[in-house]
Amino acid sequence: MAFKGINFVPRGTKIPFISMRNIAFILSGIAMIASIALFSTKGLNYGIDFIGGTSIEVRHKAGPADIADVRGKVGALGFGDVQVQQFNDPRDVLVRIELQSGDEEANQKALDKIKVTLGDAYEFRNTEVIGPTVSGELTQAGIIAVITAIIVVLIYIWLRFEWQFSLGAVVALVHDIVLTIGIFSLLQLEFTLSIIAALLTIVGYSLNDTVVVYDRVRENLRKFKKMPLNELLDVSINETLSRTILTSVTTLIALVSLFVFGGEVIRGFVFAMIWGVLVGTYSSIFIASPVLLLVGVKRDWSGLGGAKFKEPSGTV
């Protein structure tokens, strides 16, 4: 039991994060503008949750599937935009067809025809048919959820800290979400309902990180009443750096394992979260904290904030 463990982050780091803020703001600014530009030009590769349509994963029962054959057969049915691609295993094929015009039943009829056409040679492993009504509702619910999450968080941080902190946290959040949407647009990864779930998890995670730094900032504001704010922010970030890195690493270990071994179905979802952890960790250091410097914070914290929880009497 004598093993003490390894110090992954050296003690007493004094990295001048805050003085790097301009570089960070420029980098993030460029990345955000690029993301928005990508989003408005290339757009997102929306999954059928949002645009409706049919997605079928089939497995050829006897050996590797003949993609060209499937493409030819399904393409000949005249369902408009048809995507046929290799998926996961050589036997597996993913077929996506666009939302059929007409009533809700039009998509079901298209599915029936595909089943007849591909016949018994294929096993239908995953079938999703989303009609126009539901896809519209899901899009709306997704947007509402993300916006609500941001507002709720804004209010919570405001109540627990001060409006400046709330602003900083939300700027960081919007940054994370915009960059995530940007990478999905850049790589044209499928954007589904579960990516919205991932976005909300990123909101939670990024915030978690930001709050930890802010908590320390608030504490130091009480402790070092005369220290210039930029120095104080640097001290706070450096003090929490070890925790920030250790938590990010454990979370990433878990996520990378999911990405590699968790199967094709959730790969996009996990990718969004890995990206979110990286971006979220970056933003809580380089965005959320410098924002405090820009807007300024109240310096007299005596008897406020964290006093709701019991504090030990002795301070260092």
Partner 1 sequence: MLHFSRWKTFIVWGFALLGVFCAAPNLIPEKDLAKYPQFVQNLRLNLGLDLRGGSHLLLQMDKDLLIEKQIKILRGNVRTALRGKREGSARTGAIRYRDLSAKKDRVEFKPSDPADLEKAYQAARTLIQPLPSTSFGTTPGNNVDVEKTADGRIVVKPSEPAITAKISSSIDSAIEVVRRRVDALGTTEPSIQRQGEDRILLQVPGFDDPDKLKAVVKQAAVLSFHLVVRPANAEEAADGLTEPGTTIYPSKDQYSSHYILEDEPLITGADLANARQEISPQTSRPVVSFRLNSRGAVRFGDVTAANVGRPFAIVLDGEVISAPTIQEAITGGSGQISGNFTVSTADDLAILLRSGSLEAPLTILEERTVDASLGADSIAAGKLAAIIGLVGVVAFILLAYGTFGLYANIALLINISMIIGALSLLQATLTLPGIAGIVLTMGMAVDANVLIFERIREELRAGKTAISAIESGYSRALSTILDANITTFLAAIILFWLGSGPVSGFAVTLSIGIITSVFTAFVLTRWLVAWWLRLQSSKTIDMPI
Site for partner 1 in 222-241 (CB under 8 A): 239-240
Between residues 67 and 266, which has the closer beta carbon with respect to partner 1? 266
Q: Segment contacting partner 1 (CB under 8 A): 6-14, 60-68, 78-86, 222-230? A: 6-14
Question: Contact letters (x/-) for partner 1, 114-133, by CB under 8 A?
Answer: -x-------xxxxxxxxx-x
* Nearest distance, CB of residue 195 and partner 1, angstroms: 10
* Nearest distance, CB of residue 272 and partner 1, angstroms: 11
Q: Residues 259 to 298: which contact partner 1 by CB under 8 A?
A: 260-263, 265-266, 269-270, 273
In sequence order, which residues have a C-beta less than 8 Å from that of residue 136 and are 6 or more positions away? none
* Contact between 134 and partner 1 per CB under 8 A: yes
* Contact between 170 and partner 1 per CB under 8 A: no
CA distances for 96 relative to 53, 99, 111, 181, 290, angstroms: 7, 10, 11, 22, 45
* Nearest distance, CB of residue 99 and partner 1, angstroms: 12
Between residues 78 and 261, which has the closer beta carbon with respect to partner 1? 261
* Contact between 7 and partner 1 per CB under 8 A: yes
Which residue among 30, 208, 225, 299 contacts partner 1 (CB under 8 A)? Answer: 208
* Contact between 14 and partner 1 per CB under 8 A: no
Which residue among 45, 139, 230, 247 contacts partner 1 (CB under 8 A)? Answer: 247
Which residue among 51, 172, 207, 235 contacts partner 1 (CB under 8 A)? Answer: 207
Q: How many residues of this chain interact with partner 1, rule: CB under 8 A?
A: 90
Q: Residues 173 to 202: which contact partner 1 by CB under 8 A?
A: 193-194, 196-197, 200-201
DSSP labels, the chain: -------SS-TT----TGGGHHHHHHHHHHHHHHHHHHHHHT--EE-HHHH-EEEEEEEESSSS--HHHHHHHHHTT--SSEEEEEESEEEEEEEEEPPPSSSTHHHHHHHHHHHHHHGGGEEEEEEEEE-HHHHHHHHHHHHHHHHHHHHHHHHHHHHHS-HHHHHHHHHHHHHHHHHHHHHHHHHT-EE-HHHHHHHHHHHHHHHHHHHHHHHHHHHHHHH-TTS-HHHHHHHHHHHHHHHHHHHHHHHHHHHHHHHHHS-GGGHHHHHHHHHHHHHHHHHIIIIIHHHHHHH------TT-GGGGS---S---
* Contact between 36 and partner 1 per CB under 8 A: no
Between residues 38 and 178, which has the closer beta carbon with respect to partner 1? 178
Which residue among 238, 251, 283, 289 contacts partner 1 (CB under 8 A)? Answer: 251
